[in-house]
A and B are shown apart, each in its own frame.
Chain A
């Protein structure tokens, strides 16, 4: 089993919640703190937009919970939404060189033929191996647990791609022109799921979570015991893939 999420006893948390309430009052989010917006099923509580000029807080740990039992076979809505949001559109002659921020995996139990599908992407580890191996410090973990590549310092050596046990990272092989203005990406750098950091900072959900027609994904703050994701993790059995590596991923799966 894995280490439990540390309960948050940081007094700054209360301050941030109060600040978030101020932002909510200004109309960035339509809900008050503590009140959850029931978007899909019981799950997706809207997060609060962080005020301009404030840094990501270490009191928060963003995470995802994916219910593999609800993930529909053959559905690729999360992949399409991700690649649309992040402007991943290149089609190279060798399809193995195309960027892949999120992919579907099919698990088959050979003894009884039971099939399970699940989306796999950067697992946003608390102890990320990609950050350990990066020779330039480009691979980094933000204070709120989101693992990112700083392309300004990435030299494209691809050590992180080899270190990642989830095959989550891609290398950009060709020059790009169709980037989303909020998601800069270009040739010669490694990239992966950013947990839609540009949306999360605005108080929105990641594109994949929003697009899932089954409501199989929940996004939220793992450290906030009142969040939908933390409540679900506390009440049902969930798994971190390859938990034996003790990376303490922010992405968890239910029903695998």
Chain B
């Protein structure tokens, strides 16, 4: 009986110090994403919803805009950049402090949008003779 009690105490102690308690970012050993937001509180949806669903919102908006020609939707990549582009570099990419890249490099999810879309706010393209 005494042996059992010792065993239970030992297991409880083990659970208490198990890694579940030290999730990434809480223990101080793992770097947290540094998200720099220029205009907080002005987003089209609360931060929790944006974190989970921004990709779905953008995907549906892109299809409506591209296929049906609906303009002026609240979820729009250009509107994202207007608020979230870094004040230093004017871009959402470039370093792990910049908005998109900070989280995406943290969770190791490839960021395809900017292969085609312009990541800099207020960028003016200048074409040249071919």
Contacts and interface: CB of A to CB of B under 8 A. Distances in A.
Interface of A: 50, 52-56, 76, 79-80, 82-89, 91, 95, 98-100, 140, 142-144, 148, 150-152, 175-176, 178-187, 189, 197, 201-202
Please classify how large the interface on chain B is, using the bins under 10, 10 to 19, 20 to 34, 35 or more: 20 to 34
Interface of B: 62-64, 66-73, 78, 81, 115-118, 120, 122-130
A67 B67 CA distance: 31
Given A175-B115, A179-B118, A89 B67 contact: no
A29 to B, nearest CB: 15
Given A91-B130, A95-B130, A186-B116, A55 B68 contact: yes
Contacts of B69: 50, 55-56, 142-144, 197, 201
Given A187-B115, A189-B116, A152 B127 contact: no
B116 to A, nearest CB: 3
Given A50-B69, A140-B67, A184 B117 contact: yes
List the 8 shortest-distance A-B pairs measured between CB atoms, nearest first.
Answer: A52-B72, A87-B125, A56-B69, A186-B116, A83-B127, A180-B125, A55-B68, A84-B127
Given A142-B67, A182-B78, A80 B129 contact: yes
9 contacts: A55-B70, A80-B129, A83-B127, A91-B130, A140-B67, A178-B125, A182-B78, A186-B116, A201-B69
